[in-house]
């Protein structure tokens, strides 16, 4: 019998929050956040907290919707508000202060202006990526060029890429250097270290360590400048090289932050083997990535990152904890440990 109830509910027991609606909200939040960047809201709030009325005047806004606009960011943990009511003042969180204030060393606002179009373009091609298995970002598809050649096409594109990496990985690097036991090691090299962020953090947190950041010659100046700016040149050095062609430095700990997922299974193995060869007995290789849970059911950021690799690389993909263990044990490492960091990433450690 096809009653109205059967037609409307199709016999489903579904109730509660809609997961599908959450996906639509992602776009709404993204667009609203980009309006805040365009208005330079976070730069305005940096010198001192402001009330809604002050923000309205300073940004020359109409006022309608402004309380919702500001409180949305409070609800998302992007802004603080010190009270309720009209006298309440809004201020930046530590994260917004670090990354969203114009003129600051780690400013990434441009990521939400220029770079977001590139992200929208490539993610908009997911259907074709799944059909063809080929990278979809226009500048890679049209030229057949590799990801890093394109990223480092000019000083500005390199700067945008590197600052995005800092935004994405700052929190996990900090969490790693605070939680990993470096006491029995004296040296560390971050392979593919970009502008040296992880090497600098490790050296600053562990005063006995000598640290190196190894990356392509084209971005060496970014690392040298950052090391200089942080006043760490006595214990942190930038090394230029190609990690497929050049030997890794002989150090006690080799880290690779978000490196292996860029490459094919064979290339991953080459990099892990090079680390093994460079390390002493008991040395450690640490992979900092959003390593996927073995059941492949819960780590949404890791699964998204792996799909990002589908869109950007010929054969890159992320991997599970078991796949990491298999890979490093094949190369000769004797045991592994997974450290859950206070972020989307884990530190997967392999001991020689």
Ligand X SMILES: C[S@@+](CC[C@H](N)C(=O)[O-])C[C@H]1O[C@@H](n2cnc3c(N)ncnc32)[C@H](O)[C@@H]1O
Give residues with Cβ within 8 angstroms of 313, minimum separation 6.
135, 147, 262, 263
Contacts to ligand X by CB under 6 A: 148, 165, 169, 192-194, 215-216, 219, 242-244, 257-259, 262
Q: How far is the CB of 49 from ligand X (least distance, A)?
A: 31
Q: Which is nearer to ligand X, 52 or 309 (CB)?
A: 309
Q: What distance in Å separates the CA atoms of residue 279 and residue 187, rounded to the nearest whole number?
A: 11
Q: How far is the CB of 31 from ligand X (least distance, A)?
A: 26
Q: Which is nearer to ligand X, 217 or 231 (CB)?
A: 217
How many alpha carbons fall within 13 Å on the CB side of residue 70?
A: 29
Strand partners, 285: 254, 350
Q: How far is the CB of 243 from ligand X (least distance, A)?
A: 4
Q: Which is nearer to ligand X, 36 or 254 (CB)?
A: 254
Six-digit token pair at 137? 């970002």
Q: How far is the CB of 219 from ligand X (least distance, A)?
A: 6
Q: Which is nearer to ligand X, 46 or 289 (CB)?
A: 289
Q: Which is nearer to ligand X, 36 or 310 (CB)?
A: 310
- Beta pairing, strands 187-191 & 89-92: unpaired
Task: State whether residue 216 is helix, strand or coil.
Answer: coil
Q: How far is the CB of 336 from ligand X (least distance, A)?
A: 20
- Cα–Cα nearest to 85, from 52, 41, 120: 52
Six-digit token pair at 159? 């700067």
DSSP string for residues in 274-310: HHHHHSPTT-EEEEEE-PBPTTSSS-HHHHHHHHHHH
Q: Which is nearer to ligand X, 216 or 303 (CB)?
A: 216
Query: With b meaning 16 or more CB within 10 Å and e meaning fewer, what string describes 318-328?
Result: bbbbebbbebb
Please list the alpha-helical segments (H only) found in 101-154: 114-123, 126-132, 138-143, 147-151
Q: How far is the CB of 239 from ligand X (least distance, A)?
A: 10
Does residue 299 contact residue 324 with C-beta atoms inside 8 Å?
Answer: no
Q: Which is nearer to ligand X, 125 or 220 (CB)?
A: 220
- Beta pairing, strands 89-92 & 236-240: unpaired
Q: How far is the CB of 136 from ligand X (least distance, A)?
A: 18
């Amino acid at each position: 019998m096809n009653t109205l109830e059967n037609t409307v509910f199709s016999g489903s027991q579904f109730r509660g929050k809609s997961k599908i609606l959450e996906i639509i909200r992602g776009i709404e939040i993204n667009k609203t956040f980009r309006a805040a960047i365009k208005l330079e809201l976070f730069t305005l709030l940096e010198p001192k907290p402001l009330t809604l009325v002050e923000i309205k005047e300073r940004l020359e806004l109409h006022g309608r919707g402004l309380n919702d606009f500001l409180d949305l960011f409070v609800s998302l943990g992007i802004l603080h508000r010190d009270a309720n009511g009209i006298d309440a003042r809004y201020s930046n969180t530590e994260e917004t202060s670090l990354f969203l204030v114009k003129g600051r060393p780690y400013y990434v606002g441009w990521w939400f202006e220029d770079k977001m179009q590139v992200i929208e373009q490539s993610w908009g091609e997911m259907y074709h990526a799944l059909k063809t298995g080929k990278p979809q970002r226009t500048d890679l598809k049209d030229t057949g060029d590799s990801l890093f050649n394109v990223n480092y096409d000019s000083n500005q594109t390199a700067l945008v890429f590197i600052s995005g990496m800092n935004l994405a990985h700052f929190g996990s690097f900090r969490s790693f250097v605070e939680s990993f036991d470096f006491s029995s090691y004296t040296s560390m090299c971050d392979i593919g270290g970009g502008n040296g962020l992880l090497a600098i953090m490790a050296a600053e947190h562990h005063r006995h360590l000598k640290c190196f950041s190894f990356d392509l010659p084209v971005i060496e100046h970014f690392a040298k400048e950052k090391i200089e700016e942080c006043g760490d040149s006595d214990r942190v050095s930038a090394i230029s090289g190609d990690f497929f062609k050049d030997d890794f430095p002989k150090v006690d700990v080799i880290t690779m932050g978000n490196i292996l997922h860029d490459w094919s299974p064979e290339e991953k193995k080459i990099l892990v083997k090079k680390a093994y060869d460079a390390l002493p007995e008991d040395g450690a290789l640490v992979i900092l990535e959003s390593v996927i849970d073995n059941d492949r059911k819960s780590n949404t950021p890791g699964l998204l990152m792996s799909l990002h690799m589908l869109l950007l690389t010929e054969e890159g993909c992320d991997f599970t904890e078991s796949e990491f263990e298999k890979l490093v044990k094949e190369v000769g490492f004797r045991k592994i440990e997974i450290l859950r960091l206070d972020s989307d990433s884990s530190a997967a450690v392999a001991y020689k």
